[in-house]
Structure 1
Amino acid sequence: MTKSTTTHPSPPVVFEDEFIAGLTDLFENKIVFNKVLGLKLTLLSPERVRARIDMRHELVGHYSYNRVHGGVVSAALDALAGLAVMAAIGARHMDETPAQRLHRFAKLGTIDLRVDYLRPAIGAYFELQAEVLRLGSRVASTRMEFFGADGKLLSTGAGAYIVS
C-alpha cells in the first residue's frame, strides 16, 4: 500500500497598502528618471507589474512620424523589470515589515538588458508589463513587453538584475 501525500498550495501573497504605497512612491517619484519618462504604475503584484506612459513631445525620437525614441522604450522596460524584481523580492520576504522589505532594494541594479524593437512606437499612450522568470539569491531574470494603445506588441525585452 502506498502512502498518498497531498500538498496544499500556498495562499497567494497579498501586499500591504504600506508596501504598495512605498514601492509606488519609490518608482514614480524617488527615481526621478522614471518621472521624466512619465511612468505610472497600473498594476503591482508579486507575479507581474504594469505601467503606462502617455505620449509627450519630449519623448519623440523621429519628428516626422511622432515616434517614441528607442531609448525611452528601453529605459522604461528596464525600469519596469527592476520594479518586477522588487515586487518578487518583497513577496519572498513577507515575514519582514514593509519598511524592511523596501530597504532591500538599495543594491538592485541592471546587469544585462536586451530589447527587441518589433514595430515603431507611435500612439497616444503605451502600456508595459514585466515579470520575473527566476529570482535567485544573487541574480534575477526578467521578461518585459511594450504595447501600443491598440494592444499591439511593439517591443520585447529581457534583463538580468543583481539582487544582492
Structure 2
Amino acid sequence: MDLQDEFVKKMIEEIIPIHKFLGLELLHIEKDYVKVRVPFRPEVVGDIRSNRWHGGIITTVMDSVGGIVGGTHLSSIKDKMATIDIRVDFLSPAFGKAIIVEGRTLRLGSRIFVADMKCYLEEDSSQVSVAEGRGVYNFIRLNQKE
C-alpha cells in the first residue's frame, strides 16, 4: 500500500464521520470497484425481536459505497458529487453478522455517475444477496481530461 492508498483509506474510514461511526472498513478499492465491510453492533439493529440490520443503515452504507466508487473517477479535490437517487431492493434479512458491500461503476457520463451495489453477509460462502441497489449521482469534474 503506497502513501496515496493509505491516505484514501484513512479518509474513507476515519475522516468521514458516518463511516467512522459505523466502523466502515475499506477492504478493496480500484477504479470502478470498491468493497467495504461494516461490523454488526447493537446500534445497527432495526428489528430487536430478530436482531436484524436496519434497512436504512444498509441503504446508507450502499449509498456511501456508490459515492466511493464515484470517487475513483475524481480528477481533483475540488470535484463535486452528490446523490440524486438511490434504489435499494431488500432480498433477504441481514441477521447479526457483519455486512460486505461491493460497488461497481455502471455508467460515467459528463455530469451523471451511476453505480450498482450488492450487499451480503460476511462469512456467507454462498454470498446470498441481502440487498442490491443502484445509485445515481450528480458528478462534476473541474478537470475534464479523462
After TM superposition, the score normalised by the length of structure 2 is: 0.87
Q: Describe the superposition over 1:136-159 as per-residue Cα deviations: whole angstroms up to 9, x where unpaired.
A: 121101100000121221000101
User: 2:103 aligned to 96, 106, 130, which one?
Assistant: 130
Alignment RMSD? 1.5
Offset, 1:62: 0.5
How many residues align? The count is 137
Stretches of 4+ aligned residues off by more than 4 angstroms? none
* Higher strand proportion (structure 1 or 2): 2
Aligned to 2:139: 163
Q: Which ranges of structure 2 fall in alignment gaps of 5 or more residues?
A: 141-146
| Structure 1: runs of 5 or more not aligned | 1-15, 94-100
Do residues 70 (structure 1) and 43 (structure 2) align?
Answer: no
> Matched residue of 2:92: which SS?
coil
Question: Distance in 2 between the 1:22 and 1:69 partners?
Answer: 30
Name the CA distance, whole Å, in 2 between partners of 1:135 and 1:116.
22
SS at match of 1:144: strand
Question: Do residues 148 (structure 1) and 121 (structure 2) align?
Answer: yes
Larger Rg: 1
Q: How many Å separate the matches in 2 of 1:147 and 1:44? A: 18
C-alpha contact (below 8 Å) 2:32/2:70 kept by paired residues: no
Distance 1:60 1:38 in 2: 15
3-state SS in 2 of match to 1:23 = helix
Q: Does the C-alpha gap of structure 1 residues 104 and 133 become closer, same or farther in structure 2, counting only changes over 3 Å?
A: farther
* % identity of equivalent residues: 31
Deviations, residues 78-133 of structure 1 (Å, cap 9, x unaligned): 0011000111x14xx5xxxxxxx4x144x211011000011111132111100111
Cα shift at 1:72: 0.7
Residue number among 118, 124, 132 corresponding to 2:91 in the alignment: 118
Q: Where does residue 79 of structure 1 map in the other structure?
A: 64
Partner Cα separation in structure 1 for residue 107 and residue 11 of structure 2? 23
SS at match of 2:36: strand
Aligned-partner Cα distance in 2 for 1:75–1:104 = 24
